[in-house]
Structure 1
Amino acid sequence: MFTGIIEAVGTLTAIDRKGDDCRITVATQNLDMSDVKLGDSIATNGVCLTVVHFANDFYQADVSAETLKLTGFADYKNGSKVNLEKAMQVGGRLGGHIVSGHVDGVGEIDTIIDHIDYMEIWVKAPDELAKYIAHKGSITVDGTSLTVNKVDGARFMLWIIPHTVKETVIDTYQSGTRVNLEVDLIARYLERLLLGEKAAQPTSSKITEAFLAEHGYLK
């Protein structure tokens, strides 16, 4: 598990293809690697990856074909900057929100507006994720825990302070940049809880307006 508080910005220095999979090498820059062990997890642009080889200034991880398909890793190349966060430790501060490192979908940067003391960013999420994105709720963008400041359909807006821009890959964003999105875990559990006993039915069953009305969620 992670917190969405980025510890360092790394750089992809190698992408070695192995059939449909690949192994990446990440130069860790300022990330403290002194307590990292083989098999540890490091969130890399929000994707939980397992360390298979490392030294003081880099680590390697294998990226499956499924991960390449479902995240922005398919777009990355040598020199790409990535947000880095080691798995949180029990007893540590939870400065952001609970992040699993399992990407729900890939969004796209729509609009960036620079203000005097903050940056306004609009992101277009996949339509199927829109129901999980709420005003003042939490969302993870490339591994960074952020607060949703406005929602318009599948688009949502973020206010980013200068410190966050400086300490993450956000300063590399431009219109059209694809970003990894992970919605708030609580929203996913609430959706499942609403199913009640019907959760045991085949996954083809879905929450409908009729189901919500029957259980008093709609008037």
Structure 2
Amino acid sequence: MFTGLVSDVGTVLSVEGDERLRRLAIRCAYDPATIALGASIACSGPCLTAVSVEPAEGGCIFAVDAAAETLARTTVGAWRAGTRINLERSLRIGDELGGHLVTGHVDGLAEIVSREPVTGGEGDWGASERFTLRAPDALARFVAEKGSVCLDGTSLTVNGVEGALFSVLLIPHTLAVTTWGERRQGDRLNLEVDLIARYAARLTEARGLSA
């Protein structure tokens, strides 16, 4: 489990393999002594397993394997050397739950429709930005105004919903410490809908079938 609070931005160093299985080496600032083989790390959304870890200047390099399902259903299949990704270590008992419960199981891809600054109240630290995204039709019903959503591993609050379109607001800090500052119209992001919304919808469906 994760919280959607990004703790580092890693860089893909190499990608090996094909559409059936790829191994990706990722450089980050994590202490290698704190990453055990088999540890789960959320990499811009998908929960991937560390299959090797080695020290590197300023942190470490860890490798993960991405199977065909992950490559086909997430943005991982498009990652290349130089791609920057949001990272989060798995939640430990006693950690602060500052975002919302995230499983690291990507439901689909959302597309950025527009990005615009929020005018008024800007300080020396910059301005907030509003992103409008389009969710896949099958997932749009799980996105609710003032609910939570996880995009590229980042826990965000939904500001508004209109059909399959929804908007989120990114403060300057989030834009600076995640990959969101690089995102542009047309980019696709890994989307994980809120766990509670998913189970609530399933329960409603089950009740309807049994009525």
TM-score in terms of structure 1 length: 0.87
- The alpha carbon displacement at 1:76 in A equals 1.5
Pick the aligned partner of 1:114 from 94, 113, 117: 117
Which contiguous aligned blocks of 4+ residues in structure 1 show a shift greater than 2 angstroms?
30-34
- CA offset digits 1:174-202 (Å, max 9, x no partner): 111110000000011111212346xxxxx
Q: What do the CA deviations read for 1:47-89 (whole angstroms, capped 9, x no partner)?
A: 1000000123110000001100000112221101000001010
SS at 1:132 equivalent: coil
Matching of residue 50 in structure 1 with residue 65 in structure 2: no
2:174 pairs with 1:161: no
Is residue 59 of structure 2 the alignment partner of residue 78 of structure 1? no
Gaps of 5+ in 1: 198-210
Kindly report which structure 2 residues correspond to 1:4-83, keeping only aligned pairs within 5 A, or say none: 4-18=4-18, 20-28=20-28, 30-56=29-55, 57-83=60-86
Deviations 1:19-70 (A, max 9, x none): 6210001011x33433110000000001100000012311000000110000
Structure 1 or 2, whichever has the larger Rg, is 1
Map residues 165-184 of structure 1 onto 2, 5 A cutoff: 165-184=175-194
Please tell me the root mean square deviation across aligned C-alpha atoms, in Å: 1.6
Who is 1:205 aligned against?
Answer: none
What secondary structure is seen at the aligned counterpart in 1 of 2:196? helix
> Match for 2:202: what amino acid?
R
Task: Report if aligned partners of 1:7, 1:31 keep a CA contact under 8 Å in 2.
Answer: no
d(CA) in 2 for partners of 1:109, 1:72: 14
CA distance in 2, matches of 1:19, 1:156: 31
- 1:18 shift after superposition: 4.4
Q: Distance between the aligned counterparts of 1:85 and 1:174, measured in 2?
A: 22
Match of 1:87 among 86, 90, 100: 90
Say if 2:207 is the partner of 1:191.
no
CA distance in 2: counterparts of 1:21 and 1:98, whole angstroms: 28
Give the AA of the match of 1:85. E
| Displacement of 1:92 | 0.6
Q: Runs of 5+ in structure 2 lacking a partner?
A: none
Tell me which amino acid in the other structure corresponds to 1:97: H
Q: Structure 2 CA distance, aligned partners of 1:162 and 1:4? A: 17
Equivalent pairs, count: 200
1:99, 1:185 within 8 Å by CA — same for their partners in 2? yes
Q: What SS does the aligned partner of 2:72 have? A: helix
